[in-house]
Structure formats: structure tokens, C-alpha cells
Amino acid sequence: MAVRLGVCTNFVVEALAFIFGLEWAKDMGWSNIWITSDSQVAIRCFVEEKVPWFILPRLNNVRQNLTLKFSSVFRENNFAADTLSKRGALLPPGIKDTFDHRPVFLAVENPNTCYFRFH
């Protein structure tokens, strides 16, 4: 999914990405959701239910009857999120792209390839 959000902080973008993803998954009829993010802060805030006030009503509404699991990945290995965030930034206001399968513009992460992380 790619959405244009306008000017936001990184944290708000991460939090809204969780919400949009949960709403979309619920619309698809899924109840067991695994959220993977490169933002450990956003994950912790959702697990502890300490999200911004303007997101809390949507979170409370969408999480009913859902089983959520969270995990984190290194930002350098989160190719899909990076590609979709760039795509969302270029969308016209109010437009949201959703995909039922892997979009052709997303590279497949190869499990047999070494991905480097520099400190």
C-alpha cells in the first residue's frame, strides 16, 4: 500500500502505516496480523497502546477481534517499505494505492544474498 500523507514526522508516518495496514487487512477478512517494521519505537508504542491521541480511536476501532504480532527488521533490509514510501510521496493528495499481490516494481528479497548493515 502506498499513501500520500503530506508533511508528517517519521513517527506519525510509521503509526499511520500500521493503522492503514490493519484497516486494509481487516477489510480483507484477515484476523491474525503480523506487522513487521523498522521502527522499534512505533512497535513499542502500539504494543503498549501509547499512540498519539489522534490515532488511538482508529486503533481501538480496528484492533477488535484481531490477533496482532509485531517484529522488527533492520531499516537496511526493509526494501518494500522504502520503495512504497517513495511511491506514496509522489502520489496526488487523497490517493491510496493498494495491491493484492507483489507489485512488479518491488524487488524480491533473496534469502541467499548477503545484505550489509554499516554502523
> Is residue 117 assigned to a domain?
no
Tell me the one-letter amino acid at 68: L
Please give the Cα distance from 30 to 71 (Å, whole number): 18
> For residues 79 and 106, is the Cβ–Cβ distance under 8 A?
yes
Find the mean pLDDT for residues 70-83: 73
Within a domain: 71: yes
Domain count, the chain: 1
Largest CA distance in the chain: 42
Q: Is residue 8 part of a domain?
A: yes
The secondary structure of residue 92, as a DSSP letter, is P
Decide if 37 is inside a domain. Answer: yes
Judged against a pLDDT cut of 70, whether residue 13 lies above it is answered with yes
Instruction: Give residue 86's Cα distance to chain centre.
Output: 13
Q: In terms of pTM, does the model score above 0.95?
A: no
Q: pLDDT (tens digit, 9 = 90+) per residue, 16-41? A: 888 888 998 998 899 999 988 888 88
Backbone phi and psi for residue 56, each to the nearest 5 degrees, phi listed first? -55, -45
- Its domain, for residue 80, covers 2-97
pLDDT at 108 over 70: no
Give the chain's mean pLDDT. Answer: 79
The answer to whether residue 89 sits within a structural domain is yes
